[in-house]
Chain A
């Protein structure tokens, strides 16, 4: 049997007062994986992380860490360390004391403690401020201190709740990379909560997309990007165009949806047996794969799906061009392409154009109303 680092078995959280924050959350994390949680505000990311940390009671389901049941074990007896968004530095202790604090209860000798604290201070470049207190630390230093304090206890996994939220954009970028390198070198599991999809996608080995207390999809970033499994994910991740209609037919690697723009195809995100013809479905097309051309040209090429529209305006930034195309149903799509690719092809404001993409690039998702 496979040994997971972390297993959530249908865990759920109902807050006192009846507020359902998380429902039937299932997740298996392999040792050394970097997992990101992403989703809109209030979807339950923090609640889930706090349930893993033991800071919030689990009201249903089971939580296993390395195969052992931790569902009702209090925080101080879990092999996890948590990094809080505000870092939660102990203000009355120096950097060194902050780091050593978690070691005091572990029965570690003075010499060993000094060695470990020194090593982590070096590793996270905190030497210059080792005897400073929170007030004289910069945002980035506080962030590293929070990491050092958690890592020095050698946890089985690190839980991070929007740890970069308080940093400015530049610092954020560089710390993202540092964090990723750190995780690789330590080779321990990271569970990382963010509401920035770019952060989740660039950091995570796998990404958990949450919505309204439920898991929408758990996939590697590229798959999430190119093969969303639900309309929510298609809208939330990346820049996709969605065309809704009814399912006309589904095979194993191709499904057809009857839309107001005619039949459109894509790779089904579901088993053929799951869906009946006539049910609501959507074709999801990543904007990156949409090509634009003057109306009528190459219309006969059946290896593309096409729809027509009228160019509204074209923004140009350097060699990039961003035409906005109004579709027949009143929507408008903003596309990204190269200026020389559309030159001389009749793509001008007011001109009628054809949008086309290879059906293999599109995904068909079922538009199930959440069963109430």
Chain B
């Protein structure tokens, strides 16, 4: 019994440290975001609690010497980019995984080509893309060059998730639909898709979050209209104010909202198909 108690302690400590490192920075940021403004700086102690910086971020604060964060447009761009990336990567990933269900000639090579997209160092890829664009005389833009790289980066994730899903997919369910006279396209919509939906959701979540705060690939390819992570990075060069923290908290809350929607949809869809697929999202999660 004795050594087990020791082990419990160790595990407890480990968990505590894990939580401390995961949420510590976040907690500090959360506290500092309520610093008094506009004089209060990004450090302790808190002079006085206030929501000034939140108002500042949203452009509701009275004008002061501190410039508003140049992120409003960047945020819109990042969200549009993340959304578009999510849609394209998930569709591509699902279709590719579907193609991989029957081993075709050269499928091994194609697999590595696709997965390479997430392995190649991002900065190099970004730099390379910038060079190619310049050579070809293409303007760099967040919706063009950067978008392509976001897809290249997130598509392998979506593909791998869907591959895992299809690996455990019982194909006789589709065959049953065909032999009932239901054509393949309708079978995919009415049978296959509802059954793989938990996987599709996960692939979407991956693509969305990876693209939303993508930095290295975007840095050189977004052109002059930058995305949110790059805009934030830009503000570091000047002076840091707690408005950055307030913004950080807001986007984290947004992420939680996305996660909650994911959780709810997942819950709904797995309640529908609990039988076969309860163990499937465990694989993914």
Contacts and interface: CB of A to CB of B under 8 A. Distances in A.
B30 interface: no
B192 to A, nearest CB: 10
A243 to B, nearest CB: 45
Interface string A76-119: 11101110101011111000000001101110000000000000
A75 interface: yes
B272 A150 contact: no
A91 B172 contact: no
Contacts of A84: 172, 175-176
A84 B183 CA distance: 18
Interface of A: 53-55, 74-78, 80-82, 84, 86, 88-92, 101-102, 104-106, 133-135, 146, 149-150, 153, 159
A91 B179 contact: no
27 contacts: A53-B175, A55-B175, A74-B178, A75-B179, A76-B180, A78-B179, A80-B179, A81-B180, A82-B176, A84-B175, A88-B173, A90-B173, A91-B173, A91-B195, A91-B273, A91-B275, A92-B272, A101-B190, A102-B177, A102-B180, A105-B181, A105-B186, A106-B181, A134-B275, A135-B275, A150-B179, A153-B180
Contacts of A86: 170, 172
Interface residues of B, number: 24
A349 to B, nearest CB: 53
A155 B220 CA distance: 62
B168 interface: no
Contacts of A78: 179
B186 A54 contact: no
Interface of B: 170, 172-173, 175-184, 186, 190-191, 194-195, 272-277
A150 B195 contact: no
Contacts of A133: 275
Contacts of B190: 101
Contacts of B273: 91-92
The 6 closest A-B CB pairs, nearest first, are: A102-B180, A88-B176, A75-B178, A82-B179, A88-B172, A135-B275
Contact of A91 (B175, B182, B276): B276
A92 B190 CA distance: 10
Nearest to A75: B178
Contacts of A88: 170, 172-173, 175-176
Contact of B277 (A91, A104, A105, A106): A91
A14 B158 CA distance: 35
A88 B175 CA distance: 8
A84 B173 CA distance: 9
Contacts of B175: 53, 55, 75, 82, 84, 88
A89 B274 CA distance: 13
A153 B182 CA distance: 11
B125 to A, nearest CB: 37
A76 B176 contact: no
A146 B176 CA distance: 9
Contacts of A134: 275-276
A150 B277 contact: no
Nearest to B274: A135
A91 B191 CA distance: 9
Contacts of B176: 82, 84, 88, 90, 146, 149
Nearest to B103: A16
A105 B186 CA distance: 9
A90 B170 contact: no
Nearest to B171: A88
A358 B204 CA distance: 76
Given A84-B172, A86-B170, A102-B180, 5 more contacts: A76-B181, A76-B183, A88-B172, A91-B277, A150-B179
A54 B276 CA distance: 26
A134 to B, nearest CB: 5
B275 A76 contact: no
A102 B177 CA distance: 7
Contacts of B181: 76-77, 102, 105-106, 153
A190 B195 CA distance: 30
Given A88-B170, A91-B195, A150 B180 contact: yes
A310 B160 CA distance: 68
B179 A54 contact: yes
Given A86-B170, A86-B172, A55 B179 contact: yes
Contact of B179 (A81, A92, A104, A106): A81
B73 to A, nearest CB: 42
A75 B183 CA distance: 9
A138 to B, nearest CB: 13
Contacts of B272: 92
B274 to A, nearest CB: 6
Nearest to B181: A76
A82 B173 CA distance: 11
A332 to B, nearest CB: 44
A158 to B, nearest CB: 10
B216 to A, nearest CB: 40
A100 to B, nearest CB: 10
Contacts of B276: 91, 134
